[in-house]
A and B are shown apart, each in its own frame.
Chain A
Amino acid sequence: MSSNLENNDKILKIFSTVRCMNRDQLPRYLDGRLTDLEKHLLEQHLVDCDLCFDALQTLSQARYREQYQPLSVSISQYIRNSIRKVSTTQKVERYQRLEQKKESFLIYFWVVAAVAMGAGAVYLIQQQNRLRALTPSQPIAAVDKVMEPIPTSHSQPVAAPPAETAAAPAPRTVAPATAAIAAGPVADSLQRRPPATEVKVIPAVKKDTLKAAPATPKPAPSKDSARNPPPAEQKEEKSTLQPAKETPAPVADKVEKKETPPKKEKEKEKDDDDNKKTADAQPSGTDEFLYKAAMVYHQQGDLNEAISRYKHLADSKSKYGELSRYQLAVCYRSKGQTGKARRMFKEVVRMNGPMKEKAQSALDSL
């Protein structure tokens, strides 16, 4: 049974794979210097391998056997030499390729870094520009808030701050300082806030004049200085007011603070003839703004607020005085106060201005 099993296993040897004869086995097979098992294995291979069988057939002849050894060694050496040559060149090539890769990687890295830095710089510049564009509107609000409590102090001369701000930038810092002394709780907030720029101060000054004018008499030197604001500041004032037209609600608050009473203007005219032209120019610009702000309230339906604003402008000698009276009449009519409306329309007719016809027709229709 066991021999049967062995025979069964041996049958698989028919298709077992055996390697070709090596350098050592070939002469030993010819010389008969192999073990039985080794010889049988090689013979199993010889059945399939034409190369080994042909080699054995050739080497079995003595004349070829003599030539075989030196040729075999020399071909082996030849192959080894060619391998070494090839591998040296191959390694040099590989090294060069690696170096090239490193170099190209470095180039890519620096290109990417340069692009990133450029993009970063552009981004920073854009941010800076955006911040610059935003800064003018923010300090105005800040200064308004800060300056708001100042009129409450009675000891502070009302016209002094505008005079100082209008004259030169240096006294500007003095004005908040004096205000800080006068109004104790405000002092802290004033000190904490950064010093306002020229553009920021102007609206604050107006607000002061508006609120303080009816309350306190104005000293003479301050009036003079107030009457002569430099034209550059006027331009700036316009530029800051321009965006305010687009956003009515916040502007309206500012307007309240910036209104100037007509009495003050009259006094200014009397005091200095040389400065008349500039003095007239200033209220006309302000009046236009105030009129438009009142119009916004009017359009929004806030008639009471609009009326109070129109009233401020009604005494103005510019065309906005007439327009304001007309609008005031319209507001009264809208509110149902026909008596007041009629009286205001009559005033407009009496003024004999461009709105006369409209006022007359409105009177007729009432």
Chain B
Amino acid sequence: MEPFRFSYVNIGNTMLQQLTNLSDKDLISRARKLKDQEAEGVLLERYSHLMVAVCLPYLNTAPGTAADDVFPALLQRLSNSLKTQTIHKVNEWIHYNVKAIQDKSDRNLPFFSSTESREIQQVENRIEQAAMNQKEQQQLIAQMNVVISQLPAEEKYFLTQFYLEQQPLAQLAGAKKYSIDKTRQILKNAKQHMASILMKQTYEQ
């Protein structure tokens, strides 16, 4: 029977498992503050399949582009950007950089999250904080009900059907004879509209 050998590979695997359980925010923090490249790698690997999927049309259509060139360049760009950019949502940051690689004109512009995105994120944070406080949660629910009633009828309908009645996206699109993309866009706009009203009310208070 061979004795157990303690090796770097074992440490690496254990470390990777531990890092995999961390949230995006923690991984970014580790990569920045501790210069932990393993954390950076775990974060990029977490989204790598989506990068591949998004880049596939570009790899097939654009002339002189190969996966061996595009992905290392993309990963390097993301790695550099990670150390300098403020990243609230990793998916938005990766999507922006993938598009920037594909549209070479935007290459040098840094990533900034949009105002709408920041408003949505602020409301999301507020709801997360209210989860521990019943009274605050009730106040927030009442406020959201008021805001939904102020929205246009179509947006109100889609939000109610999708989030409250839990109708699938395809079914909702079929009921209105819209495409899934359009239905998604209506829902996205309705959500952004609602977030901006909520944040406006918060600032006015």
Q: Is B4 an interface residue (CB 8 A)?
A: no
Q: Is A55 an interface residue (CB 8 A)?
A: yes
Q: Is A84 an interface residue (CB 8 A)?
A: yes
Residue-by-residue, is B75-119 near A (CB-CB < 8 Å gives 1, otherwise 0)? Answer: 100000000000000111011001000000000000000000000
Q: Known contacts A78-B71, A87-B12: does B144 contact A14 (CB below 8 Å)?
A: yes
Q: Is B197 an interface residue (CB 8 A)?
A: no
CA distance A10 to B60 in the complex (A): 42
A16 touches B124 (CB 8 A): yes
A11 touches B163 (CB 8 A): yes
B50 touches A55 (CB 8 A): yes
A15 touches B123 (CB 8 A): yes
Main secondary structure of the interface of A (DSSP, over half): helix
Place the interface of chain B in its size category. 35 or more
* Chain B hits for A64, CB < 8 A: 53, 56-57, 60
* Chain B hits for A67, CB < 8 A: 56, 59-60
Place the interface of chain A in its size category. 35 or more
- A176 CB to closest chain B CB (Å) equals 80
CA distance A257 to B72 in the complex (A): 106
A51 touches B92 (CB 8 A): yes
B95 touches A54 (CB 8 A): yes
Q: Is B48 an interface residue (CB 8 A)?
A: yes
A54 touches B54 (CB 8 A): yes
Main secondary structure of the interface of B (DSSP, over half): helix
CA distance A51 to B47 in the complex (A): 9
- B11 CB to closest chain A CB (Å) equals 9
* Chain B hits for A75, CB < 8 A: 48-49, 51-52, 67, 71
CA distance A44 to B191 in the complex (A): 11
A11 touches B144 (CB 8 A): yes
A72 touches B95 (CB 8 A): no
A15 touches B71 (CB 8 A): no
A15 touches B127 (CB 8 A): yes
Closest residue of chain B to A7, judged by CB?
Answer: B164
A12 touches B127 (CB 8 A): yes
CA distance A328 to B164 in the complex (A): 130
A40 touches B191 (CB 8 A): no
* Chain A hits for B124, CB < 8 A: 15-17
Q: Known contacts A47-B191, A68-B56: does B91 contact A52 (CB below 8 Å)?
A: yes
A47 touches B184 (CB 8 A): yes
CA distance A44 to B98 in the complex (A): 23
Residue-by-residue, is B28-52 near A (CB-CB < 8 Å gives 1, otherwise 0)? Answer: 0000000001100110111111111
Closest residue of chain A to B195, judged by CB?
Answer: A15
CA distance A59 to B60 in the complex (A): 13
* Chain A hits for B54, CB < 8 A: 51, 54-55, 58
With A46-B184, A50-B91 known, 9 other A-B pairs at CB within 8 A are A11-B145, A36-B166, A39-B168, A43-B162, A50-B92, A58-B54, A72-B49, A75-B49, A83-B38
